[in-house]
Amino acid sequence: MSGGQQQRVMIAIALACKPKLLIADEPTTALDVTIQRQVMELMAKLKESHKMSLLFISHDLGVVGEISDHVVVMRHGEIREKAPVAEIFNAPKDGYTKALLACRPSLTENPARLMVIDDHIAGRAASNEAKAKDPNAPVILEARGLKKSFFFKEGLFGKKEFKAVKDVNFKLRKGYTLGVVGESGSGKTTMGLTLLRLHEPSGGEVLFEGQDLLKMSGNDWQKMRRRIQVVFQNPYASLNPRFTIGQTLVEPMEIHGIGRDTADRMARASALLVKVGLDDSVLNKYPHEFSGGQRQRIAIARCLTLNPEVLVLDEAVSALDVSVQAQVLNLLKDLQDEFGLSYIFISHDLAVVKFISDEVLVMQNGDVVEQAETQSLLAAPKQDYTRRLLGAVPRGYQAQASAAAA
């Protein structure tokens, strides 16, 4: 079942005993905007029909702004502010509440960097100076007619084909970001994994500086793998729990022969940790000793050990709260400016995609239904499907934008 279907089952289980109070703890965090919309409407309908109260816990301010009547803002175990939802979003009083509203990407504004919690509370402004991108930058990665099918057994001897990715075409320039959006099951993650050959493609070409990655083998493919890396969605699962952070960062360098010796590799690992906002005191710690945002920074540092030129980021910030999300997004922009990295940024969050992407590719049922420069696509989408995705964005984000501007 899809994530939305699984969440509906959990709601049904919770309602089986006809409760007077339903506690919903981050029930829509990992869902795409259309499924999120369906789950929110379902919960609102059940709340009315069952005469039930709802305690809705979330870091997603847009969802909170739409579903709630009253909001309580907490930090470090303390209540910082509580008020009716309209007052919280339109006239927040506490500095932390204002910071939460300001650090979330907006569909209506275009800052070069997002405000982070501590900066906003201290009264420091986010930098709005972005490094200009080269309009003549060369194409570093190109997909031509990329396809991926899965086959399932049907009957005794037959098999059924499921086309997860169908004829995907795009070009990614050096130093640019291509955002990929779509509902659950649209094929966006499968497309990203197929680019990396973590799924073997069923057809098409993937050209990296003119060389077809899909035809490479042996040493040629091994050398190319270090140039295109991936950051997965779940930082809790993507790091080996038995490795220290030092081992996690040194291992890929050993495999690809980077660095003179272990001491040289550890020095490089330390420098990269500083680059992503940590320090070398964490080298001997294990992943369970870190927060989600810190783990995602470590996962990014692990990719950087190989000096990649392209990063595929698969829902890399969707599981993070808005304050940590802002830090990681700013970090990704800083690293892109410094190293000239190119990103394929896969996400269901349109506000995040708008903030970080130069171009957006919209997928539905394995097909690319629309592709254009970010600002123009989101301002005037041509396809009904794209308009439906935008229409499903929680209306609370508009209140956020107003409050942040104020």
Number of domains the chain contains? 2
Residues 281 and 370 in one domain: yes
Output the six-digit token pair for 144. Answer: 């031509």
Per-residue pLDDT, 369: 94
Residue 102 lies in a domain: yes
> In the structure, what pLDDT confidence band is assigned to residue 404 with cuts at 50, 70 and 90?
very low
The residue from 122, 156, 184 where one domain ends is 122
Range of the domain at 336: 176-199+216-405
Q: Residue 50: its pLDDT value, please?
A: 87
What's the per-residue H, E or C state across the chain? CCHHHHHHHHHHHHHCCCCCEEEEECCCCCCCHHHHHHHHHHHHHHHHHCCCEEEEECCCHHHHHHHCCEEEEEECCEEEEEEEHHHHHHCCCCHHHHHHHHHCCCCCCCCCCCCCHHHHHHCCCCCCCCCCCCCCCCEEEEEEEEEEEEEEEECCCEEEEEEEEEEEEEEEECCCEEEEECCCCCCHHHHHHHHCCCCCCCEEEEEECCEEHHHCCHHHHHHHHCCEEEECCCCCCCCCCCCCHHHHHHHHHHHCCCCCCHHHHHHHHHHHHHHCCCCHHHCCCCHHHCCHHHHHHHHHHHHHCCCCCEEEEECCCCCCCHHHHHHHHHHHHHHHHHHCCEEEEECCCHHHHHHHCCEEEEEECCEEEEEEEHHHHHHCCCCHHHHHHHHCCCCHHHHHHHHHHC
pLDDT at 348: 82
Verify that 245 and 382 share a domain, yes or no.
Answer: yes
Residues 90 and 191 in one domain: no
Same domain, 34 and 105: yes
Under the banding of pLDDT at 50, 70 and 90, the label for residue 400 is very low
CA distances from 171 to 31, 205, 310 (A): 28, 12, 12
Q: Are residues 46 and 192 in the same domain?
A: no
Q: Is residue 159 part of a domain?
A: no
| Mean pLDDT computed over 136-156 | 91
Q: Are residues 36 and 182 in the same domain?
A: no
Q: State whether 223 and 77 are in the same domain.
A: no
Residue 188 has pLDDT above 50, yes or no: yes
In the predicted structure, residue 402 carries a pLDDT above the cut 60: no
Decide if 375 is inside a domain: yes
Give the bridge partners for 24, in sequence order. 56
Residue 124 has pLDDT above 70, yes or no: no
Looking at the structure, tell me whether residues 246 and 393 fall in a common domain. yes
Q: Is residue 211 part of a domain?
A: no
pLDDT (tens digit per residue) in 285-308: 999 999 888 898 899 999 999 999
Q: What is the CATH number of the domain that holds 95?
A: 3.40.50.300
pLDDT tens-digit readout, 207-217: 998 899 999 98
Examine residue 341 and state whether it is found in any structural domain, yes or no. Answer: yes
pLDDT, one tens digit per residue, over 299-347 is 999 999 999 999 999 988 877 778 888 888 998 999 999 899 999 999 8
Same domain, 336 and 188: yes
Q: Are residues 393 and 258 in the same domain?
A: yes
Query: Is pLDDT of 64 > 70?
Result: yes
Does residue 29 form part of some domain? Answer: yes
Same domain for 188 and 330, yes or no, is yes
Is there a domain that residue 256 lies in? yes
Q: What is the mean pLDDT of residues 97-110?
A: 82
Categorize the per-residue pLDDT at 129 as very low, low, confident or very high, splitting at 50, 70 and 90: low
Same domain, 273 and 372: yes
Domain boundary among 122, 151, 186: 122
Q: Is residue 152 part of a domain?
A: no
pLDDT at 113 (0 to 100)? 81
Final residue before a domain boundary, out of 122, 144, 165 = 122
